[in-house]
Amino acid sequence: MDLQLPSGDQFMDATQATMCDTFQRDFLCCRRIGSLPWKDLAHQLTLQPLLALCILEKTVKHPVCKKYPPSLQYRRLFLSELIKKHECTGAEPLDDLYSALAEVLNSEETAVCYKSYCLPTGDLITLSENAAIISEGTTGLVTWEAALFLAEWAIEHNDIFNNRTILELGSGIGLTGLVICKSCYPKKYTFSDCHQKVLQQLKENIRLNGFKLEEEHSVTSEKPKTLLSVTDLDWESVTEHKLLKLDADLVIASDVVYDPDIVTSFTKILRKLFHYTKPGNGLEVLVASTIRNPETYRLFQKTLDDTGIRWQVLPDQKRNIFAYDRNCKVEILKLTLQV
Ligand SMILES: C[S@@+](CC[C@H](N)C(=O)[O-])C[C@H]1O[C@@H](n2cnc3c(N)ncnc32)[C@H](O)[C@@H]1O
């Protein structure tokens, strides 16, 4: 799914073309409407009112949006704002904008919607996500900022993930893992979670992005670069046998340190992992966390200290690739066993 400028955009200058790309990136991953650069757009529209049509083509009318649409409410809010900004220029009304809004208003909302994240290569990762941040009793059916942060970090530190046997804990619906599998070519990548609906949506998202699970490859087919699997893994009850079988040399997790109960449960699996992993495989663990409540975060660090797990904060060396709220602080901890 390559992102190409629609034809007929010769009327735009470079600033306007970049603006169209920014709107496309933000729209496809449903960035909060208020965070889009509307003010800059309003200015550019006074110079070139037809820019609104280009943005329409690159967002609501884009083939990716047609096939994997963001929520209806998101599309409605987006179009209403675009129309408002165009109307403010006093230019001739553009029928296409109103008919696109009418089409959205006449459609029915579905529980599941899609978000598509643009990679630097131009490839997209498309995920089926829930519209509400908590649904079906879990936080796992949406992509959280720490997942995007860790994915950006992985793209920049490709070598750390390349050819590794990776286990992801609390994968949710799969953004980080899919970015790593597309960009870093690990040897094996095991996604895991404990919530049945999350696991089901995760598998769908893996297939949606053109990957097959390990068991879906026929014996005759060519061996893929990365073997992908999904497993039901509860941090509280996972067995030694299961962890030994996974034989991971890199374990990653994002946004799994958000309340004291989960800290206790998550530290339990870390202790088991360090304890059960085959000696000499040099296990490394990376945990990306949004620091919403510094007390909970400190509790996590203290629990690690008490457990004999060493932690260090990794430097935030990465490019901003995805569109998300960067006001909240995200940090990656690298964990190793104290010797
Ligand atoms: C806030 S979500 C983060 C999802 C994803 N990593 C992200 O950053 O977008 C936390 C995830 O941890 C999972 N989780 C919570 N407790 C768990 C446990 N005891 N065992 C396994 N997974 C758990 C939830 O099901 C959920 O998918």
In a shared domain, residues 162 and 83: no
CA–CA distance, 147 with 330 (Å, rounded to integer) = 10
Range of the domain at 39: 14-110
In a shared domain, residues 235 and 140: yes
Beta strands in the chain (DSSP E): 112-118, 124-130, 165-169, 188-193, 227-232, 250-254, 284-290, 309-313, 330-337
**Most ligand 1 atoms within 8 A of CB, residue of 166, 178, 194, 263 to mutate:** 194
CA–CA distance, 54 with 41 (Å, rounded to integer) = 12
Which of 40-49, 107-116, 302-311 is predicted least confidently? 107-116
**Most ligand 1 atoms within 8 A of CB, residue of 125, 136, 139, 291 to mutate:** 139
In a shared domain, residues 293 and 323: yes
pLDDT of amino acid 281: 72
The tokens describing 131, both together, are 């519209």
Residue 271 domain flag:
yes
Residue 4 domain flag:
no
Ligand 1 mean position, distance from CA 253 (Å): 9
CATH of the domain at 241: 3.40.50.150
Q: What mean pLDDT, rounded, does the chain reach?
A: 92
CA–CA distance, 273 with 251 (Å, rounded to integer) = 9
In a shared domain, residues 261 and 313: yes
In a shared domain, residues 138 and 101: no
Q: 276 pLDDT band (50/70/90 cuts)?
A: confident
In one letter, which amino acid is 34? Answer: G
How many Å is the Cα radius of gyration of the chain?
Answer: 22
Residue 2 domain flag:
no
In angstroms, the Cα distances linking 304 to 247, 315, 333 are 22, 20, 11
Q: 219 pLDDT band (50/70/90 cuts)?
A: low
Which of 38-42, 229-233, 321-325 is predicted least confidently? 321-325
Q: Please write the tens of the pLDDT for every residue from 227-264.
A: 999 999 999 999 999 999 999 999 999 999 999 999 99
Residue 45 domain flag:
yes
In one letter, which amino acid is 37? Answer: P
Residues pairing with 230 in the sheet? 191
In a shared domain, residues 172 and 73: no
Burial 301-320, CB ≥16 within 10 A → b, else e: eebbeeeebeeeeeeeebee
In a shared domain, residues 95 and 152: no
Which of 57-66, 210-219, 246-255, 326-335 is predicted least confidently? 210-219
pTM as predicted = 0.92
Residue 39 has pLDDT above 50, yes or no: yes
Q: 1 pLDDT band (50/70/90 cuts)?
A: very low
Residue 102 domain flag:
yes
Instruction: Provide the domain count of the chain.
Output: 2
Q: 220 pLDDT band (50/70/90 cuts)?
A: low
pLDDT of amino acid 314: 97
In a shared domain, residues 172 and 291: yes
Q: Which ligand 1 atom is the nearest neighbour of the CA of 265?
A: 19
In a shared domain, residues 148 and 74: no
Q: Is-contact 113 70, C-beta < 8 A?
A: yes
Instruction: Find tokens 């629609």 and name the residue.
Output: 6
Q: Is-contact 181 189, C-beta < 8 A?
A: yes
Q: Is-contact 201 162, C-beta < 8 A?
A: no
Residue 7 has pLDDT above 60, yes or no: no
The tokens describing 296, both together, are 């909970």
Q: Residue 135 gets which letter from DSSP?
A: B
Q: Is-contact 321 22, C-beta < 8 A?
A: no
pLDDT of amino acid 2: 39
- C-alpha closest to that of 148 among 288, 284, 261: 288
pLDDT of amino acid 216: 83
The tokens describing 20, both together, are 């169209």
Beta strands in 177-268 (DSSP E): 188-193, 227-232, 250-254
In a shared domain, residues 73 and 220: no
Percent of the chain with pLDDT over 70: 95
Ligand 1 mean position, distance from CA 106 (Å): 36
CA–CA distance, 136 with 156 (Å, rounded to integer) = 34
Residue 332 domain flag:
yes
Q: Residue 138 gets which letter from DSSP?
A: B
CA 337 to chain CA mean position, Å: 29
In a shared domain, residues 306 and 225: yes
pLDDT of amino acid 339: 66
Residue 176 domain flag:
yes
Ligand 1 surroundings by CB, under 6 angstroms: 138-140, 143-144, 146-147, 170-172, 193-195, 198, 233-236, 254-256, 262, 265
Q: Please write the tens of the pLDDT for every residue from 123-155.
A: 999 999 987 777 777 888 899 999 999 999 999
Residue 51 domain flag:
yes
In a shared domain, residues 97 and 189: no
Q: Please write the tens of the pLDDT for every residue from 45-100.
A: 999 999 999 999 999 999 999 999 999 999 999 999 999 999 999 999 999 999 99
Percent of the chain with pLDDT over 90: 82
CA–CA distance, 311 with 305 (Å, rounded to integer) = 8
The tokens describing 48, both together, are 């070139």
pLDDT of amino acid 290: 96
CA 332 to chain CA mean position, Å: 16
Non-local CB neighbours of 32 within 8 Å, separated by 6+ positions:
325
